[in-house]
Amino acid sequence: MTGGLDGRVAALVAEYRRIAATDMVGVPICNPALAVEAVGFRPFGPGWLGAVVTPWFLNAVLIPADPARWALRLDGDREVVPLPAGDHAFTAARLDGLGTLLVIPLVSAMNVFTSHAEAVAAAGFAVDRLMTAPEPATNAPPPARAETVSRRALFGRGPR
């Protein structure tokens, strides 16, 4: 297995291309306008975060720099990862040639895309959103002032 960002992403793409060419041929959920492509991978926390477009799904993927990191995780195990956009629940997924990754399904009905370019743009947008902290609200109204009430007025015995 090749190390580093380029090697790990290349292994990810190669495995999904193998799956596309063998296991997914003729499967009705596949969008024939789409191909397998890795989008927007960048260093984050324990590895690299990006997205993968395939003819059958669009997932955000966290690839560990150290393949042993999640080796004991089972497919389907959940892990909350703090991202700049907030905490997100990832699911463990084992992939031949790469080991265990963490994924967030973003789109499962890929027929919503009419072109590969459109799917890649959506993937890039999703990764950018996950890696961007929310902006603080600037147009929020000022907090309401609490009205002070005298004890006498509270009990109905005088002016406020």
Per-residue model confidence as pLDDT tens digits over 75-94? 999 999 999 999 999 999 99
Helix, coil or strand: residue 93: strand
Per-residue model confidence as pLDDT tens digits over 3-61? 788 999 999 999 999 999 999 999 999 999 999 999 999 999 999 999 999 999 999 99
Tell me how many degrees the CA angle 22-24-28 measures, rounded to the nearest 5. Answer: 150
Instruction: Kindly report whether the global pTM for this prediction surpasses the value 0.85.
Output: no
Task: Give buried/exposed letters for 98-111 (b at 16+ CB in 10 A, else e).
Answer: bbbbbbbebbeebe
- Tokens of residue 140, six digits: 């929020």
What domains sit in the chain, N to C, each tagged with a CATH number?
4-130 (3.30.1460.40)
Residue 1 in this model has a pLDDT that exceeds 50:
no
